[in-house]
Amino acid sequence: MAPWRPDPTFYPSPRLAASAPREELAYVALLNASGNGGTDAMGVVDVNPDSPEYGKMVGKVDMPFPGDELHHFGWNACSSHLCPWAPHAHVERRYLVVPGIHSSRIHVLDTQPDPRNPKLVKVIEPDELMERTGYSAPHTVHCGPDGIYLNGLGAPDGDGPGGIFVLDHETFEPKGAWELDRGPQFLSYDFGWHLGQDILVSSEWGTPNMVKDGLNPELLLAGKYGNALHVWDLRRRKHLQTLELGAQYQMTLELRPARDPSKAYGFAGVVISLEDLSASVWLWYREGSNGASRWAVKKVIDIPAEPADPELLPPMLKGFGAVPPLVTDLNLSLDDRFLYVSCWGTGQMLQYDVSDPFHPRQTGSVRIGGIVDRAAHPSRPDVPLNGGPQMVEVSRDGRRVYFTNSLYSPWDAQFYPDGIRGWMAKLDVNPEGGMALDTAFFMEADEGMRPHQVRLQGGDASSDSFCFP
């Protein structure tokens, strides 16, 4: 009888995961913005530089119904299953769990036995999701040691509160809402955890009714979008603290906890400041001794808006005469050294050395796309691009960074009213700092399709959480 062993793509620590085999495929959520009534899809992109199909889409799975707005999907299982208390240590990293914000439908895709041709094996319909969890608009997937965690932006009626719910690892059945004591938390967006600290941190965006028709200027100027982080007791599922950033800091989106579980800090991206249109990155951290410790938050990176000719700006920004960076994603390398910050408005991808998390140091920058610049890819220097660096994923060894250019269809239309043409690009990273666009890798999506979230075969820097440093 063959021995029963954990999935070989699981690693007990980020240091060991960094030595994993190189990814050969990337899975990419594709949003159908053509207006032709077609469906969203999951694309499969060849990322093996030795392949004749490098940088090309080699597979695609169409979703069964239109109108999903696929978003931040994830694996069903990951390295957290090697934690000593994990009850599912032999589950495979095999299925992609793919939520749709607009439909409140969740799709489960099986990537085996042929990773280039995933198969749709289960659909959780919105009525079942809402009845079992009390949430709608599923947004982000993270695999945990005891289940598959997702967040919902709001309640079934489209208002709040939003929160977290859990799916069973094996059956994918919704277990129910995660929170036992919500405290003051109302808005929901991303979440992440420190398994070594028994702490979960969540961020804020807006309810479905606040975001589904685009950015609402009245709500924005009134400071009604999210501007806080929430700290939770992971095991007791209880709210512990609210970390206020200030009402001028609107939309605390992506969270990237330190990959080393012994470190008690992480990074949060903030889309915009009402004072000057700047974006920022904040550090949450634990201070004080264990007996009297508290969590705190501090701004560690400011990214200013750039002056621009109003004639080149979309209607929403003409009166400001500037293009905001619009930080909409972050990612952190497995060695906790480099933080990548995507500026969807200006078209910048920024790299920071965060070896000292309190004092980040910029070490790299590239430009591609952007509201004003429309910077070209080096493989096609005569073709201006729109959209900008948005969803970003880092390989486990930290040497490659993949990113796409679409944010969210209603917001795409406001900031890029000429219509985003979808693309995916890749950066090669210098281990000592610095990065450059791979001139051989530039994937253009089919007409009307926009790439969003990226996941790498076998895992990536944000697919895993670890119990050992």
- What is the model's pLDDT at position 2? 46
Q: Kindly state the average pLDDT of the residues 318-346.
A: 97
44-95 pLDDT, tens digit per residue, is 999 999 999 999 999 999 999 999 999 999 999 999 999 888 777 678 999 9
228-256 pLDDT, tens digit per residue, is 999 999 999 999 999 999 999 999 999 99
Q: What pLDDT band is residue 293 in, cutting at 50, 70 and 90?
A: confident
CA–CA separation, 220 and 201 (whole Å): 23
Q: Kindly state the average pLDDT of the residues 4-32.
A: 94
142-191 pLDDT, tens digit per residue, is 999 889 999 999 999 999 999 999 999 889 999 999 999 999 999 999 99
Run of H or E residues at 126: helix 126-133
Q: Average pLDDT of the chain?
A: 96
Token pair 């804020």: residue: 204
Q: Kindly state the average pLDDT of the residues 262-290.
A: 95
What letters, b where the CB count within 10 A reaches 16 and e where it falls short, cover 273-284?
Answer: bbeebbbbbbbb
Q: Kindly state the average pLDDT of the residues 124-148.
A: 96
CA–CA separation, 68 and 33 (whole Å): 11
CA–CA separation, 35 and 195 (whole Å): 43
DSSP string computed for 167-198 = E-TTT--EEEE--SB-TT------EEEETTTT
- What is the model's pLDDT at position 291? 67
3: pLDDT strictly greater than 60: no
**Between the CA of residue 145 and those of 95, 206, 212, 290, 424, what are the distances in Å?**
15, 28, 32, 24, 31
Q: Kindly state the average pLDDT of the residues 207-228.
A: 96
139: pLDDT strictly greater than 50: yes
Q: Kindly state the average pLDDT of the residues 439-460.
A: 97
384-417 pLDDT, tens digit per residue, is 999 999 999 999 999 999 999 999 999 999 999 9
Is the separation of the CB atoms in 191 and 203 below 8 Å? yes
Run of H or E residues at 220: helix 217-221
Residues 6+ apart with CB under 8 A from 322: 277, 305, 306, 307, 308
Q: Kindly state the average pLDDT of the residues 361-379.
A: 98
1: pLDDT strictly greater than 60: no
Closest CA to 143 of 211, 89, 105: 89
Q: What is the largest CA-CA distance in the chain?
A: 71
CA–CA separation, 60 and 86 (whole Å): 33
- What is the model's pLDDT at position 449? 97
pTM comes to 0.97
* Cα dihedral across residues 184, 186, 190, 195: positive or negative: positive
Q: What pLDDT band is residue 290 in, cutting at 50, 70 and 90?
A: low
CA–CA separation, 225 and 271 (whole Å): 11
How many residues are there in the chain?
Answer: 469
Q: What pLDDT band is residue 370 in, cutting at 50, 70 and 90?
A: very high
306: pLDDT strictly greater than 60: yes
Distance between terminal CA atoms of the chain? 33
Planar angle of CA 314, 28, 430, nearest 5 degrees: 85
271: pLDDT strictly greater than 70: yes
